[in-house]
Amino acid sequence: MPLTAGDVAEIVRLLEESEFDELHIEQDGLKLTLKRGSAPRGKGGETATAPDAPPAPTVADGPAGAGRKPRGELPATAAARVVQVPAPFVGIFHRAPKPGAPPYIEVGSEVQEDTIIGIIEVMKLMNAVRAEARGTVVEILVADGAVVEYGQGLVRISRGAQRG
């Protein structure tokens, strides 16, 4: 039975409350490594957490997504212009810098590659997530405070007409 987002959140909670600095779990081909401290982050959503894991399901894969088109499918004409920003970590997604503050972005917001679109909380550490693309936010795929999995889509950005 594969790990769910709730299972991972519980594992993170248990690690936070323990004296251990690192945890390795292997189950059914999934390798999960959790370490205390800041997780290294590279460009393009690379992470030290679960790099061997298969792609995580998106929000549309669960019961709430029943009857909707899977998130990964777009009409061919739109697919070339819309990019999806993936979660670079497993953790809790926050749309605003603190409770009660306005969100970093909304649908319709113009973003640059370095624009912060949200924060993922991993073991009480806040990690900024950047757009990594220039364009207009057309869809926010994750609710504020939701547990996200590595690779799960957070937002979609339309790059508009490409100029050559």
Task: Please give the pLDDT value at position 37.
Answer: 58
Residue 88 has pLDDT above 70, yes or no: yes
What are residue 65's phi and psi, to 5 degrees? -95, 5
| Among the ranges given (76-80, 81-85, 112-116, 140-144), the one the predictor scored with the smallest mean pLDDT | 76-80
Task: Please give the pLDDT value at position 80.
Answer: 59
Residue 142 has pLDDT above 70, yes or no: yes
Domains, the chain, with CATH or none: 5-158 (2.40.50.100)
Task: Please give the pLDDT value at position 84.
Answer: 94
Query: Percent of the chain scored above 70 by pLDDT?
Result: 65
Structure tokens at 9: 């959140």
Average pLDDT over residues 3-19: 73
Measure the CA dihedral 59/47/31/70, to 10°. 20
H or E stretch covering 9: helix 5-17
Chain-centroid distance of CA 157 in Å reads 14
Average pLDDT over residues 97-125: 93
Residue 136 has pLDDT above 70, yes or no: yes
Residue closest to 91 by CA, chosen among 53, 28, 39, 131: 39
